[in-house]
Amino acid sequence: MSTPYIPCLDLGSYINGTEEERKKFSDELGRAFNDSGFVTITNHGLSQDLIDKLYENIKAAFALPVETKRKYEKPELAGQRGYTSAGKETAKGAKTPDLKEFWQIGQEVTDGDPVKEEYPDNEILEELPEFNKVTGDIYRKLQENGTYLLRAIATYLELPINYFDKHVHNGNSILRGIHYFPIENPETIPDDAVRAGAHEDINLITLLIGASADGLEVLTRSNEWLPIKAHHTDIVVNVGDMLQRLTNNKLRSTTHRVVNPPRELMKTSRFSVPFFLHPRSDMDLTSLPSTIDAEHPKVYSDMTAGEYLDERLREIGLKK
């Protein structure tokens, strides 16, 4: 899985390692995020059985009749919960919507935190009871992994190790199941129609659990597209725009896309499940003073995570 551009790191060495091992992990993670903006993670604690069940349920959910799926589509939620049908999301700057449909699961606040009032309830898929349990289990495990990764990033940035903890506790994170649906007549789609146009993620970091087929590509610092061949056992982690803003481009959000398969495979599906780790809406994304100097002047205006999310959802067409 590892390539010259995309290193593979052992998360277990950070969670259970010595102080020296944790520091080594933090340094390697920071270097990778400076270089490609992507790493792959092993020893992440998700069993193969749980990952297999996740994909079984994701596939079953999208195999439901269109009229059933549309029961769970709530346009007023801007795609943040439940089902979102084809043609709704367009990469920033693109003219043609992505060739995909998706389902989103959000934060479940269980400790009385008042932030619960900010979040809509998740849509419960009545037809597939196991779907709700499995996606919930995956959500919580990736949230835990993401917290460890952010602690390593905090150390790399010479911040207190728990800098991000209060911002991501009950944060506005999203688990998204994506179906890049088959195209029965490829000759009928626009020339610029792709499964996912070139884009950067909105959030702090993204954790992606493999995919059912190839197609993910990363734009390297040398301006070349690098294919990422992830499998069910891999977790691919990348920097999002919020972390880029916070670090004044010290850690860069990496451009990536999902390209169409060869024409003879256009009639096949592709599934993937990214976890978008968001902070609470009130997190201040003002660039850290330590990342600003004469050689690196401040690039971004000051705003909160909630303000930035609202701006981006409008840019990609999910919010009007």
pLDDT along the chain (320 residues), means of 10: 66 95 96 84 92 95 97 92 91 83 96 96 96 97 97 97 98 96 77 81 92 77 79 83 96 86 81 95 97 96 96 84
**Residue that has been written with the tokens 């195209």 in this structure:** 183
Instruction: Specify if 219 maps to a domain.
Output: yes
50 in a domain, yes or no? yes
For the record, the structure tokens of 120 come out as 């809509």
- What is the per-residue pLDDT for 175? 97
- Contact (CB, 8 A) for 1 and 40: yes
- 3 lies in a domain? no
pLDDT of residue 277: 98
Element (H, E) at 205: strand 205-211
Q: Which of 216, 81, 209 is nearest to 145 (CA)?
A: 209
- How far is residue 211's CA from residue 55's CA, in Å, rounded to a whole number? 9
- Determine, yes or no, domain membership for 320: no
Taking the C-alpha atoms of residue 272 and residue 244, their distance in angstroms, rounded to an integer, is 24
Bridge partners of 216? 258
Judge residue 313's burial from the number of C-beta atoms within 10 Å of its C-beta, 0-12 exposed, 13-18 middle, 19 or more buried. Answer: middle
- The domain that holds 258 is classified in CATH as 2.60.120.330
CA distance 212 to 42: 18
Task: State the Cα–Cα distance between residues 222 and 233, nearest whole angstrom.
Answer: 29
d(CA 50, CA 188): 38
Residues 37, 252: Cα–Cα separation, whole Å: 6
pLDDT score for 211: 66
Let me know: does 21 contact 239? Beta carbons within 8 Å: no
Q: Do the beta carbons of residue 275 and residue 203 sit within 8 Å?
A: no
Where in 212-285 does DSSP place strands (E)?
A: 216-219, 225-227, 235-239, 256-258, 270-277
Q: Which domain holds residue 213?
A: 8-315
Q: How far apart are CA 135 and CA 132, in angstroms?
A: 6
Domain count within the chain? 1
Q: How far is CA 98 from CA 37, 193, 263, in A?
A: 23, 7, 17
Is 297 inside any structural domain? Answer: yes
Taking the C-alpha atoms of residue 107 and residue 170, their distance in angstroms, rounded to an integer, is: 7
Distance CA 84, CA 274 (A): 15
In a domain, 207, yes or no: yes
- 131 occurs within a structural domain: yes
User: In terms of pTM, does the model score above 0.95?
Assistant: no
